[in-house]
Amino acid sequence: MSATRDQVLADLRERITSIEGDGVKKAGCLPFGVPDIDAVLPGGGLAHGALHEFAGGGSGTVDGAAAALFAAGIAARTKGQIVWCLTRPDLFFPALAQAGLPPRRVIFVESDKEEDVAANMEEALSYGGLGAVVGEMVRLPMVVSRRLQLVAERSGTIALAVRRWRRQTEASDFGQPTASTTRWRVSVLPSEELPVPGIGRPRWFLELMRSRAGECAEFEIGACDDKGRIHLSAGSRDRANTSRGSLYSG
Amino acid sequence: MIAKSGSKRWVSAADAAARKAGVRVGMQAAKAQALFRGLLMVDADPAADAAALERITLWALTQYSPIVAMDAPDGIVLDTEGADHLQGGELPMVTKISNQFLAKKLTARVAVADTWGAAHACARAISRETVIVPSGEIARAVERLPISLLRLSEKTVGDLQTLGFKSIGELANTPRAPLTLRFGPEVGRRLDQTFGRTSEPIDPIRTPELIGVSRAFAEPIGAAETINKYVGRLIVQLIEKLQKEGLGVRRADLIVEKVDGTRQAVRAGTAKPARDVAWLTKLFKDQTEKIEPGFGIEKLTLVAVMTEPLEDIQKSSSLVEEEVTDMTPLIDIFGNRGQRVYRVAPVASDVPERSLGRIHAASDPVEATWIHHWRRPIRLLARPEQIDVMALLPDHPPVWIMWRGKRRKVQKADGPERIFGEWWQRCSEYEAVRDYFVVEDDAGERLWIFRSGDGVDPETGSHRWFMHGIFA
């Protein structure tokens, strides 16, 4: 009985994906290598050929430091060239190199206007054959995010949007719906305790705020290492589906 | 410089020292010699001048604008509409042009105006190096300029001066009919061209070496799809021609000639020589929406103004080596849209803001990277911002810091990491020292701060504290 039901379900799923994914490359996904996080994400990792959004919490909404490094860590674990679109050139590359992203892999596209960032991202995504396309942007309206998502689906390139606002109060914009596949908020936490005075490995509070066909979750993680990998911080637990609001909401 | 016309010898150009001695252009050679003993006189060589002007014009064609022509005998004219943004705007562009001439020990006068006539007059009248006449301000700019700048024949100018006309403004305010009766239609035509009332297309300079293809239409075309179709065909033809010569395009211009006699030009550049149909088509298709067909397009011309040898190369099998995506077409797309495309490369310097440099995106990849034993912040402030702190001297991290009006208690800190000034860069850095600390406040935010000076010796710095970067 259950065998026939499974077969029918599998058949139906196949038909739905064939309708949905008309002309879409099956791109697979990029696992974090952290079983707890990968288990929450449908497909077991960040989907290739999709738009993922990252924002900071607290003062990170303005500087976008943790979100940018988190995105850089993901980009570092992909294969191929990275295109990084931005308007404010305050990224300090040695830090990206310390997260496993060598300078020869990144091409920066700097524009004067905010709108050009999305256009440049779209162009880079449609070019294909790149590892990842990162864009630092303030606004991400529904239409723009939809376009980016569709172009990413077509070429199979992973699109990472780092949201970064001018003022902390503007960050409420992050609640607006977009077409991105996943949406993350990365806030800084006090670093790991060391037996001696000093700063240990930085820790982040990672919130998966939206995940298409998946559930929301929260993690406490250790920041990217020199290969761009994160790890679950000691003493933290997977607090999936908590009704509590986030600790560091912007 | 002495020129001969018939048996008359007159001064055709004079340098600053000669002008100081009273020598003027147009003066008789004998008179100039009488003014100043030992005056060095050089015979003018109009043919060599014309050849040099042509060389400069061809250089400007590859550098600045698709439509460039000689404005003989002493100038060149560029149609920079739609080309100035690639140089960062009109002002940076004219400054760059002027500086490039200065670097060759030449003095150039550059003027930007709505019309050829106005720019011609302004460039020859100004005492500064550059001038930009704002759009619609031609009348104000040229009304006081002498009529000799109106590009009329010498005889006409002389006759007009006899009649008492001095400035272009006076001439423009005189009834046209008597002038035409007396001097023919030329005066009115030049005035109209200067004020932009009649069009004056610039016929771009061409040499036989330039490879170009064109297509004239029996019926004017205007629809975007039609333009795209014919541009695509022209590109295919151009590439076939280039293939025969073994060349690749670095810069190509599409010149659109419209029914009403005006021209528009679209330029596309590539970072590496290209001979790929899809690549060039993409670059031009990006810009076809900028073409205003008006009443219709009569002729499309595609010219490769800058070419470089491009030989076929053997590609290694994809089975042996990992396939690497060539990024150059994408870089060109961004570059032609006026975005800044670059890579960063390490620079051997310990001072953080000097430790990286921008290199061209299509340049060969740099394998080197930074070697730091200390963590570096992901965001670096453009300029270090002064902060208030409380810290124990000489080498303790602060207890609290105040940055942008927010006071933070320091929970943990790392440091100091001492960075010495680079005396070979600036003598003020001879003894300068910065002591960097990583501090973490109670919310977990990690900041990069430094003290200018080593905390003991006031020679090494002001002992003030600065905020320099934000860690993730």
Task: List, as ranges, residues 31-70 from B with C-beta within 8 Å of A.
Answer: none
CA distance A48 to A30: 7
Asked if the C-beta of A126 comes within 8 angstroms of chain B's C-beta atoms, the answer is no
**A130-144, B73-87, B389-403, range with the lowest pLDDT:** B73-87
Q: Which of A232-246, B53-67, B122-136 has the lowest mean pLDDT?
A: A232-246
Q: Does A192 touch chain B (CB under 8 A)?
A: no
Confidence (pLDDT) at B84: 74
Does residue B345 sit in helix, strand or coil? strand
Q: Please tell me which residue of chain B has the smallest CA distance to A111.
A: B339
Of A63, A80, A188, the CB nearest to B379: A63
pLDDT value at position A145?
93
To the nearest 10 degrees (0 to 180), the angle between helices B328-336 and B277-285 is 20
List the single range of B108-117, B187-196, B283-292, B320-329 with lowest mean pLDDT: B320-329
- pLDDT of res. A27: 65
Contact state of B369 with A97 under an 8 Å Cβ cutoff: yes
A242 — pLDDT class (breaks 50, 70, 90): very low
- Position B323 scores a pLDDT of 59
Count of pairs with CB atoms under 8 A, one residue in A, one in B: 149
Selected residues 430-449 of chain B with any CB under 8 Å from a CB in chain A: 438, 440, 442-446
Chain B residue numbers with beta carbons less than 8 Å from the beta carbon of A204 are 472
Residue of A122, A199, A201, A249 to mutate, testing the B interface (most B Cβ within 10 Å of its Cβ): A199
Predicted local distance difference test score (pLDDT) of residue A207: 92
Interface contact flag, B339 A110, Cβ < 8 Å: yes
Give the domains, in start order, of chain A with CATH numbers.
Answer: 42-232 (3.40.50.300)
Q: What is the pLDDT of residue A235?
A: 53
Q: In sequence order, what are the beta bridge partners of B266?
A: B254
Asked if the ipTM is above 0.85, the reply is no
Residue B16 confidence (pLDDT) above 50: yes
Distance from CA of A56 to the nearest CA of B (A): 10
Band of the pLDDT at A249, cuts 50, 70, 90?
Answer: very low
What domains lie within chain B, and their CATH numbers?
2-43 (3.40.1170), 47-195 (1.10.150.20), 211-309 (3.30.1490.100), 379-470 (no CATH)
Which carries the bigger pLDDT value, residue B294 or residue A242? B294
Q: Which residue has the tokens 């806030």?
A: A187
pLDDT one-digit tens code per residue, B231-261: 889 999 988 888 888 888 888 888 888 888 7
CA gyration radius, chain B: 31
> Among residues B340, B337, B339, which one has the least CA distance to residue B283?
B337
Give every CB contact of residue B63 below 8 A, 6+ residues apart in sequence: none
Computed over every residue of chain B, the mean pLDDT equals 83
What part of A 28-57 touches B (C-beta under 8 Å)?
none
Contact A120/B at CB under 8 A: yes
Option in B365, B379, B412 nearest A191 (CB): B412
Q: Which of B347, B379, B438, B449 to mutate to test the interface with A (most CBs of A within 10 A)?
A: B379
In terms of CA atoms, which chain A residue is nearest residue B350? A94
pLDDT number for residue A243: 39
Distance from the B287 Cα atom to the nearest Cα atom in chain A, whole angstroms: 14
Of the candidates A93, A102, A116, the beta carbon closest to that of B339 is on A116
Please provide the DSSP assignment of A2-40 as one string.
HHHHHHHHHHHHHHHHHHHTTT-----EE--S-HHHHHH
> What are the tens digits of pLDDT across the range B316-375?
555 555 556 778 888 888 888 888 899 998 888 888 888 888 888 888 777 778 877 788
Q: Is the dihedral of CA A203, A140, A61, A121 positive or negative?
A: positive
Q: For testing the chain B interface, which of A78, A93, A196 should be mutated: the one with the most B CBs within 10 Å?
A: A93
Res. A20: pLDDT tops 70: no
**How far away is chain A from the Cα of B210, in angstroms, using its nearest Cα?**
31
More confident residue, B169 or A183: A183
Residue A200: pLDDT above 50? Answer: yes
Q: Where are the alpha helices (DSSP H) in chain A?
A: 2-20, 35-40, 60-63, 65-76, 93-98, 114-127, 142-155
- Residue B414 at interface with chain A, using a CB cutoff of 8 Å: yes
- For residue A198, what pLDDT is reported? 87
Of chain B residues 339-358, which have a CB less than 8 A from chain A? Answer: 339-346, 352, 355-356
Facing residues of A83 across strands? A107, A133
* CB spacing of B413 vs A95 below 8 angstroms: no
How close B286 gets to chain A, by Cα (Å)? 11
Cβ within 8 Å of B, A 56-115: 58-59, 63-66, 68-70, 72, 80-81, 83, 90-98, 102-104, 106-111
Mention every residue, 6+ apart, whose C-beta is less than 8 A from residue B281.
Answer: B231, B232, B235
Query: What DSSP assignment string belongs to B163-213?
Result: TT--BHHHHHTS-HHHHHHHH-THHHHHHHHHHTSS---------TTSEEE
The partner residue sitting opposite A124, judged by closest CB among B330, B414, B470, is B330
B337 CB near a chain A CB, below 8 Å?
yes
- The residue of chain A nearest to residue B379, with distances taken between CA atoms, is A91
Q: pLDDT per residue over A66-110, tens digit each?
A: 999 999 999 999 988 999 999 988 899 999 998 889 888 999 999
Q: Which 8-state DSSP code applies to residue B43?
A: B
Scanning B272-331 for CB atoms below 8 A from A yields 325, 327, 329-331
Phi and psi at B458, nearest 5°, equal: -65, -15
Decide if B344 and A103 are in contact by the 8 Å CB cutoff.
Answer: yes
**pTM higher than 0.90, yes or no?**
no
pLDDT class of A241 with cuts at 50, 70, 90: very low
Note whether A73 and A99 are within 8 A (CB).
yes
